[in-house]
Structure formats: structure tokens, C-alpha cells
Amino acid sequence: GENVEQHPSTLSVQEGDSAVIKCTYSDSASNYFPWYKQELGKRPQLIIDIRSNVGEKKDQRIAVTLNKTAKHFSLHITETQPEDSAVYFCAASKGNQFYFGTGTSLTVIP
Amino acid sequence: DAGVIQSPRHEVTEMGQEVTLRCKPISGHNSLFWYRQTMMRGLELLIYFNNNVPIDDSGMPEDRFSAKMPNASFSTLKIQPSEPRDSAVYFCASSFGYSNQPQHFGDGTRLSIL
């Protein structure tokens, strides 16, 4: 099966700085990579996704990059704000089933 | 759209009791997923359905857990008998299509077994 590793497990940044979260996957057949944000006590919410035919995707302050050869993908958040504080999960999928990373707890310090 | 609706939001019950969690997927979605989330194990997929048919239940911990989807708009996850180690947040998610589509999560059921 697929194995997704996510780093770091915790990340603290100053407000306005950038944050980068990295994930690796093991199954080269995986072709869909969503990212979810989960605030404390809330549900995971999709914030951005990328498919394997694309190398990069951007949505305002959030971007995701994918390196299929190296089997890794990353989430980039620029100009971080306190409301970006949450746990972020990456996932890899090659069908209906998502394989989630273990999460990164991001704290943005005002 | 109301999103994925789960009930109850919180459940506290004693060990040995039967627990039933409910989920209404987003209208038109044909795939439904049950997850369990704990600090120790993160997000675990328990079972998922396509067109009301269970496709993969390999994540169901043991025979005490069962899930049904009698129609396109309703699913249940049942634990009988419940044990303290079942305490977790249980999420239901739905998606449209059969592969590589975003899953939309409900608000979860926080289950505490005393």
C-alpha cells in the first residue's frame, strides 16, 4: 500500500513569514494530492489539491508543488497570519482511497 | 449545500453499550468514507462505500464495528459492544466520482466510552 510521510510535525513561524510543509509518498501510481487544514475541534477542510499532470498550483497565499520523480510534494504558505494556525494534513491517492500524512501543527506567532 | 451531516456531535456512554453514529453525505456524492481520528494514530480510514456498496473495510478494527449504507443519503457506523479504547473522533466524508476527487468531511462525532 501507499506510505505517506509528513514533516515537520510541528512548525512555529512569525506572522508574515513563510511556512513550508513537506510530504513524501511511496507509490509512484499515486496521482492526486490534496491538502487539508484542521482547526482545533473542527473538521478537516480541503485547502488546495494538485494532480500528477501539474507541477505547481497556487491559490492566493497558498501554493503546492509536486515532484513526481522524487515522489514528494510540498505546501507553501506565504505572508502567514495568526488564522493560519492549525494542523495541516497531506494525502496521496491513486483511486478512491486517501492515505494521509501524520499532520503538521503550525503555529503563527503574532 | 448543507455539507456532510453527522449525528450526534458528541456521545458519552458506558463500556459495553451499543453506539450508532450517523452520516448524511452531500447530495449527489456517490462515495462515502468513515474515518477515526486519535492523537496516537491520526486519521485512519475504517471503511468506504461506492454507490452504497462497501468496497474496502480492511480498516475496521474488529468485529465489534459494522457499517451500513442502506441508501445514497444515509450511512451508519455501529460499535457493539463499545470499549474505552474506541474513544475518538469519528468523521464521515463524501466525494463525487470514483477516483481522485476531493473528500468533504462532516463535523465529526466525538465519542467517549467510560
Per-residue pLDDT of chain A (110 residues; tens, 9 = 90+): 789 999 999 999 999 999 999 999 999 999 999 999 999 999 999 999 999 888 999 999 999 999 999 999 999 999 999 999 999 999 999 888 899 999 999 999 99
Select from A96, A99, A100, A105 the residue whose CB has the most chain B CBs within 10 Å, as the one to mutate to test that interface: A96
Among chain B residues, CA nearest to A52:
B100
Nearest to A109 by CA among A91, A72, A82: A82
Q: Which of residues 58-87 of B touch A (CB under 8 A)?
A: none
CB contact under 8 A, A42 and B48: no
Cell numbers describing residue A84: 493560519
pLDDT of residue B111: 98
Distance from CA of A98 to the nearest CA of B (A): 8
Residues of B in Cβ contact (< 8 Å) with A97: 45, 48, 56
Regions of chain B short of the pLDDT cut 50: none
A49-84: burial string, b at 16+ Cβ within 10 Å, e else: bbebeeeeeeeeebbbbbeeeebbbbbbbeebeeeb
Of B99, B104, B107, which is closest to A96 when you measure between CB atoms?
B99
Among chain A residues, CA nearest to B49:
A96
Residues of B in Cβ contact (< 8 Å) with A34: 102-103
Distance from CA of A34 to the nearest CA of B (A): 7
pLDDT of residue B2: 81
pLDDT of residue B97: 81
Work out the angle at residue B55's Cα, subtended by the Cα atoms of residues B49 and B57, and round it to the nearest 5 degrees: 95
Residues of B in Cβ contact (< 8 Å) with A35: none
pLDDT of residue B1: 63
pLDDT of residue A71: 95
Nearest to A51 by CA among B26, B102, B32: B102
